[in-house]
């Protein structure tokens, strides 16, 4: 007696190769992890992200994807809490005087 070969009537799943997930940090995340204010240079205070252009200032486009793309690419700067507060209150920035070690004044 001969065995009959049955034909499978369902799809066969191919073996899916494993692709490892690669995570790269963006340049903004690297700047934030540096924990250094880009305005005053302080590295002792907590840092925040300041958006240079407000989202309302961006031109609203007809399609939402174009608007979201322009919102993601707007300029951002890492600031300490004091500089961030000063930027939102529109106070002029005055850089603290730097101490120069070992430099003599040649002007008398």
At residue 29, φ and ψ (nearest 5 deg) are -65, -40
Q: Which residues contact 60 (CB under 8 A, 6 or more apart)?
A: 67
| 56 vs 32: which has the higher pLDDT | 32
| Averaged confidence pLDDT in the chain | 72
Q: Decide if 102 is inside a domain.
A: no
Q: Decide if 70 is inside a domain.
A: yes
pLDDT at 1 over 70: no
Q: Decide if 101 is inside a domain.
A: no
Cβ contact 47:80 at 8 Å: yes
Which secondary-structure segment (H or E) carries 84?
helix 81-88
The pLDDT value recorded for residue 63 is: 65
Q: Decide if 100 is inside a domain.
A: no
pLDDT band at residue 86 using 50, 70 and 90 as cut-offs: confident
Q: Decide if 9 is inside a domain.
A: no
Q: Decide if 62 is inside a domain.
A: yes
Residue 70 has a CB neighbour count (10 Å cut-off) of: 15
Q: Decide if 79 is inside a domain.
A: yes
The mean pLDDT of 3-8, rounded to a whole number, is 68
Residues 108, 26: Cα–Cα separation, whole Å: 50
The pLDDT value recorded for residue 108 is: 53
pLDDT band at residue 104 using 50, 70 and 90 as cut-offs: low
Which secondary-structure segment (H or E) carries 48?
strand 47-51
The pLDDT value recorded for residue 4 is: 73
Please give the tally of structural domains in the chain. 1
What is the rounded radius of gyration, in angstroms, for the C-alpha atoms of the chain?
28
pLDDT at 37 over 70: yes
The pLDDT value recorded for residue 51 is: 80
Q: Which residues contact 74 (CB under 8 A, 6 or more apart)?
A: 51, 52, 53, 55, 58
Residue numbers of the domain that contains 68: 37-88
Q: Decide if 42 is inside a domain.
A: yes
């Amino acid at each position: 007696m001969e065995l009959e070969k049955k034909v499978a009537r369902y799809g066969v799943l191919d073996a899916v190769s494993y692709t490892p997930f690669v995570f790269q940090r963006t340049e903004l995340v690297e700047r934030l992890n540096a924990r250094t204010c880009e305005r005053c240079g302080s590295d002792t205070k907590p840092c925040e992200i300041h958006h240079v252009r407000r989202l309302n200032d961006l031109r609203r486009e007809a399609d939402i994807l174009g608007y979201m793309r322009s919102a993601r690419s707007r300029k951002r700067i890492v600031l300490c809490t004091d500089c961030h507060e000063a930027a939102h209150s529109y106070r002029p920035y005055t850089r603290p005087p730097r101490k120069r070690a070992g430099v003599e004044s040649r002007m008398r």
